[in-house]
Amino acid sequence: HWQRPLSLSPPSVALKSEIKKLIYMHVGIWLLLLAQMCVGHLKLLPHDQVAMPYQWEYPYLLSILPSLLGLLSFPRNNISYLVLSMISTGLFSVAPLIYGAMEMFPMAQQLYRHGKAYRFIFGFSAVSFMCLVVVVAAQVHGWQLYYSKKLLDSWFTSTQEKKKK
């Protein structure tokens, strides 16, 4: 019976492609937050133009590490790097987003109940803008974890098939 090559199995290639797209989206979000931090701390623009970062944004900067580990796992189908990427995504990406949602909730509640915003990013309410960032980032990381788990399963299956031979 016919067997497909283990190193270039179509599911693995397709999953890697999806994960890479999500990593690039994550890098875009990460760069936006980094830019806000630089502008805020270096006082490149007045704080009424670009608000200082929320507390959750600082640990979120570490979220670039899981993405790099994910990319490093691809060339040789390195299961260890992929597992480390998945674990660190929870610690450095998802956990700061959960904290951020809790940190911003009272400010969002005040904005929507009383119409009062105290921080702005280019004229938009900072809390509204950052809540949108949290929602998009949570989806990116959620899909990244989902596809990484499927890729990990694919690699385990491939490894088991190699051992049977």
Average pLDDT of span 137-156: 95
Q: What is the rounded CA–CA span in Å between residue 84 and residue 78?
A: 10
Number of domains in the chain: 1
Average pLDDT of span 10-39: 94
- Measured from the Cβ of residue 138, the count of other Cβ atoms closer than 10 Å reads 16
CA angle 27, 68, 94 (to 5 degrees): 65
Residue 60: is it exposed, middle or buried by C-beta count within 10 angstroms (0-12/13-18/19+)? buried
Residue 64 lies in a domain: yes
pTM: 0.85
Residue 99 lies in a domain: yes
Residue 165 lies in a domain: no
- Sign of dihedral through CA atoms 139, 143, 66, 86? positive
Position 30: which residue type?
W
Closest CA to 118 of 127, 106, 105: 127
Which range marks the domain in which residue 86 is found? 12-158
Residue 65 lies in a domain: yes
Closest CA to 103 of 153, 142, 59, 62: 59
Query: Where do runs of H (alpha helix) occur along 42-125?
Result: 57-60, 64-73, 79-89, 95-114
Residue 96 lies in a domain: yes
Q: What is the pLDDT of residues 75-120, one digit of tens each?
A: 999 999 999 999 999 999 999 999 999 999 999 999 889 888 888 8
Share of the chain above pLDDT 90, in %: 74
Residue 2 lies in a domain: no
Residue 1 lies in a domain: no
Residue 30 lies in a domain: yes
Most confident of 49-53, 111-115, 119-123, 140-144: 140-144
